[in-house]
């Protein structure tokens, strides 16, 4: 029996499909390994975020950070990993409040990772709110700070955590904020509910601006 050669075009197509298949499998494996490496760290971070009274130890933060860094090496474009890493650096910054140089270095890392997250997930309100908050704390680049705050408003004005961050900045920089942002704060006070409403009123008390409730 005589064997017939397969057409060259068919062989090329088959090879191309096999190449794409191997690339897809490799990509899937990278993502899976990144998920496994960061699973425990992400679970810990979720618990810490839910219960502010649970203060993690520096050792725990360091272990979670190392796991996330390894995961980012495998999947550098995952915005969730960068947001989680930024959160950990934020914890370290709060612990270093008596060491200004270390606190500033940690805030630099927070800013860098939230910015990386925002590139991959540009409509994420918490990333923008946290960028604005870090720039506010550092007293740097007010134009970028207000720009990030405005984006956070566009994408998450009804998110309680976003409202708290934004409100703190607007209250601290009331004269700079402008009429539109001041009006946004008043709308938050009128429309917030539950825990967010309670925390907003605590911010007003701390700032001595209970008059804003009367104006609402």
**For the segment 66-94, what is each residue's pLDDT rounded down to a tens digit?**
999 999 998 888 999 999 999 999 999 99
pTM score, two decimals?
0.80
- Main-chain phi, psi angles of 76, to 5 degrees: -65, -15
The helix or strand, by DSSP H or E, that contains position 216, with its residue range, turns out to be none
Model confidence pLDDT, tens digit, residues 18-61 = 555 544 444 444 555 556 668 889 999 999 988 877 789 999 99
Comparing 49-58, 64-73, 119-128, 192-201, which segment has the lowest mean pLDDT? 49-58
Integer Cα distance of 207 and 205 in angstroms:
5
Output 53-62 pairs: Cβ under 8 A, ≥24 positions apart: 56/91, 58/92, 58/95, 61/88, 61/91, 61/92
Tokens 């309100």 correspond to what residue? 125
Integer Cα distance of 137 and 104 in angstroms:
9
Mean pLDDT, to the nearest integer, of 100-126?
A: 96
């Amino acid at each position: 029996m005589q064997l017939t050669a397969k057409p060259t075009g068919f062989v090329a197509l088959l090879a191309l499909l096999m190449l794409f298949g191997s690339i897809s499998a490799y990509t899937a494996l990278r993502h899976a390994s990144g998920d496994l490496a960061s699973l425990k760290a992400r679970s810990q971070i979720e618990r810490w975020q839910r219960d502010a009274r649970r203060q993690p130890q520096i050792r725990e933060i360091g272990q979670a950070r190392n796991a996330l860094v390894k995961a980012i090496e495998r999947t550098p474009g995952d915005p969730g990993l960068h947001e989680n890493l930024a959160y950990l650096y934020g914890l370290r910054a709060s612990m270093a409040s008596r060491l200004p140089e270390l606190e500033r270095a940690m805030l630099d890392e927070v800013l860098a990772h939230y910015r990386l997250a925002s590139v991959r997930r540009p409509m994420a309100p918490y990333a923008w709110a946290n960028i604005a908050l870090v720039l506010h704390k550092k007293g740097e680049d007010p134009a970028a700070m207000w720009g990030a705050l405005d984006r956070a408003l566009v994408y998450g004005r009804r998110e309680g955590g976003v409202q708290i961050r934004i409100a703190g900045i607007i209250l601290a920089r009331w004269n700079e904020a402008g009429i539109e942002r001041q009006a946004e704060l008043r709308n938050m006070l009128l429309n917030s509910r539950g825990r967010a409403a309670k925390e907003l009123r605590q911010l007003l008390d701390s700032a001595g601006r209970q008059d804003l409730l009367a104006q609402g």
